[in-house]
């Protein structure tokens, strides 16, 4: 039983750390998933949507620290019962989601690993069984190192996690698992595979009031996209940096467009207010959230390949 306990301890600890880490590097992604769960079509808890980001940060820290605590053997009883409780909750949530076909991807492994609703449910069933073994065999879970070592490891893990969250929210995720990451070719992401599965990029439409400019932008050897999903929440100081970058980009032969999911009236108001020299195109909000987590963020494209991606906060004209 000791070998089985150690094996369960290792598997659960590592998977919880992995699950926490892939969300840690992109906390906004988890927040968007919480918004989806809180929506009227799923749990109908729309009053919680404004708190989606704090919920996501709390869940990320809990997952990551519980995984580390289990491997360390830190407060074993509290740790294993906490793991059981959180897994039981998500077992119900993923069953509900799968049975009623509410959410197509639970986001349990962020954008790093995509699981279907039923795959996610069965994954949680396995987790419950492994954690139950740990509950029964708590006596075989021995602490690792000294008490000070365990305390400092958890403290430093939390400190490092909070810093990564801060950095990712201030700039961009430190690791990008999405199909618009640097080095990815957007056109390749739009290709259907032989199995007919929906491609990673399947809803990209960059439209003006009169035409679809998606192909024009993807074919351009130099294109600069300014992703401002919600114009009403774009800081005024951001536009000053963006305007300077756009001017330099145009001088170097770039096609320059802003893209947003806001209303056309807000397009006109923003262009007039900041005297923008580039048009604003419409794109679906979910697509823009996937494309770039910053508001605004910048994508530099070379024939549909993302050659650079950054937040307005670290705009550098030397990038062009």
Specify the pLDDT at position 41: 81
Domains of the chain, earliest start first: 2-170 (no CATH), 186-319 (3.40.30.10)
Q: pLDDT truncated to tens, each residue of the chain (320 aa)?
A: 788 888 999 999 999 999 999 999 999 999 998 888 888 787 888 899 999 999 999 999 999 999 999 999 999 999 999 999 999 988 888 888 888 777 766 667 667 677 777 888 888 899 999 999 999 988 888 898 898 999 999 999 999 999 999 999 999 999 999 999 999 999 999 988 877 788 989 889 999 988 999 999 999 999 999 999 999 999 999 999 999 999 999 999 999 999 999 998 999 999 999 999 999 999 999 999 999 999 999 999 999 999 999 999 998 756 77
- Whether 189 and 200 have beta carbons less than 8 Å apart is answered as yes
Distances from the Cα of 64 to the Cα of 2, 59, 274, angstroms: 24, 9, 43
Angle between helices 27-38 and 2-24 in degrees, nearest 10: 90
Element (DSSP H or E) covering residue 259: strand 255-260
Can you give the pTM of this predicted structure?
0.89
Given this model, what pLDDT does residue 42 score?
79
Question: Which of 101, 81, 90, 80 lies closest to 123 in space, CA to CA?
Answer: 90
pLDDT at residue 12, rounded to an integer: 94
């Amino acid at each position: 039983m000791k070998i089985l306990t150690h094996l369960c301890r290792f598997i659960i600890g590592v998977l919880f750390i992995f699950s926490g880490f892939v969300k840690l590097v992109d906390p906004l992604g988890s927040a968007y998933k919480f918004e989806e769960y809180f929506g009227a079509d799923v749990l109908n808890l729309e009053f919680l949507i404004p708190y989606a980001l704090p919920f996501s940060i709390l869940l990320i820290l809990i997952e990551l620290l519980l995984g580390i605590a289990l491997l360390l053997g830190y407060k074993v009883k509290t740790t294993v019962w906490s793991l059981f409780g959180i897994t039981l909750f998500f077992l119900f949530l993923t069953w509900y989601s799968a049975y009623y076909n509410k959410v197509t991807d639970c986001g349990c492994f962020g954008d790093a690993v995509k699981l279907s609703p039923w795959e996610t449910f069965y994954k949680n069933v396995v987790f419950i069984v492994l954690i139950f073994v740990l509950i029964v065999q708590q006596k075989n879970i021995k602490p690792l190192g000294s008490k000070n070592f365990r305390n400092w490891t958890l403290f430093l893990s939390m400190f490092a996690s909070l810093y990564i969250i801060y950095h990712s929210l201030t700039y961009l995720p430190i690791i990008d698992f999405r199909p618009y990451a640097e080095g990815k070719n957007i056109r390749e992401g739009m290709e259907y595979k032989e199995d007919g599965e929906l491609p990673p990029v399947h809803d990209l439409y960059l439209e003006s009031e009169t035409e679809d400019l998606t192909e024009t932008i993807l074919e351009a050897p130099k294109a600069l996209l300014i992703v401002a999903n919600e114009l009403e929440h774009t800081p005024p100081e951001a536009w000053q940096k963006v305007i300077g970058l756009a001017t330099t980009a145009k001088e170097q032969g770039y096609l320059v467009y802003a893209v947003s999911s806001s209303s056309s009236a807000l397009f006109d108001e923003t262009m007039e207010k900041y005297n923008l020299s580039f048009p604003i195109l419409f794109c679906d909000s979910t697509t823009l959230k996937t494309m770039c987590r910053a508001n605004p963020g910048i994508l530099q494209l070379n024939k549909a390949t993302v050659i650079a991606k950054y937040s307005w906060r670290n705009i550098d004209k030397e990038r062009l």
